[in-house]
Amino acid sequence: MQFVQSQPGDDPIVVEGFFAASPARVFNAWTNPDIIMKWFGLEPNSLHSADIDLRPGGAWRFLHSKTGKQSVGFEGAYAEIEQDERLVFSWSHVVTHADGAREATPESRVEVTFTPKGAGTMVRLVHSAVRSEDARRGIGGGWQSSFGSLQDLLAD
C-alpha cells in the first residue's frame, strides 16, 4: 500500500494511512516507547531504544543503530500534544561519535493528526522543512515503511 502522498523529494513530505484501530490506540502507538520499538523504522523492531517525555517541550529520542564507533538516531521535542488527536514535534537525525562529538541535521517539523473514520483512524503526517531533496526522499521511504509496520501491528 502506498502511504506517501507527496512526490518523492517534495517538501513537505505528506503521508496518510488508515488504521483499523481507535484514535486512542493509534495515538498510544505513537507515544508509548514499548510500542514504538515494534513499528518505527525501515524494519519492524529495528530500534535499540525509544525514550519519550510526552509533554509540550518534552524531548524524544530513538536510537536506531549503535556500534563501537558511533550511534545513529533521531530526536526532537514535542511542541503540541492533543490527546488522541494531534502531535507536533521537531525532528533531527543525529550521529554521536565514540568521543561524544555529535552531528545533527537542521531541525524539521512533523505534524501528525489522528481522525476517527468508520471503525478506525485516518492518520495524516506532514513532515516539513527538510532541507535537502535526498534527505526528503530517505525520510519519505522511512515513513512509508513505518506506516506499513504500524498498520500490520494494529491489525493484530
User: Residue 142: its pLDDT value, please?
Assistant: 94
Q: Report yes or no on 90 lying in a domain.
A: yes
* Nearest alpha-carbon partner for 113 in 100, 102, 122: 122
Per the structure, the count of domains in the chain is: 1
Is residue 70's pLDDT more than 90? no
45, pLDDT greater than 80: no
- 109-151 pLDDT per residue, tens: 999 999 999 999 999 999 999 999 999 999 999 999 999 999 9
Give the confidence band of 154 by pLDDT, cuts at 50, 70, 90: very high
For residue 73, is it within any domain?
yes
Range of the domain at 83: 13-155
Q: Let me know if residue 88 belongs to a domain.
A: yes
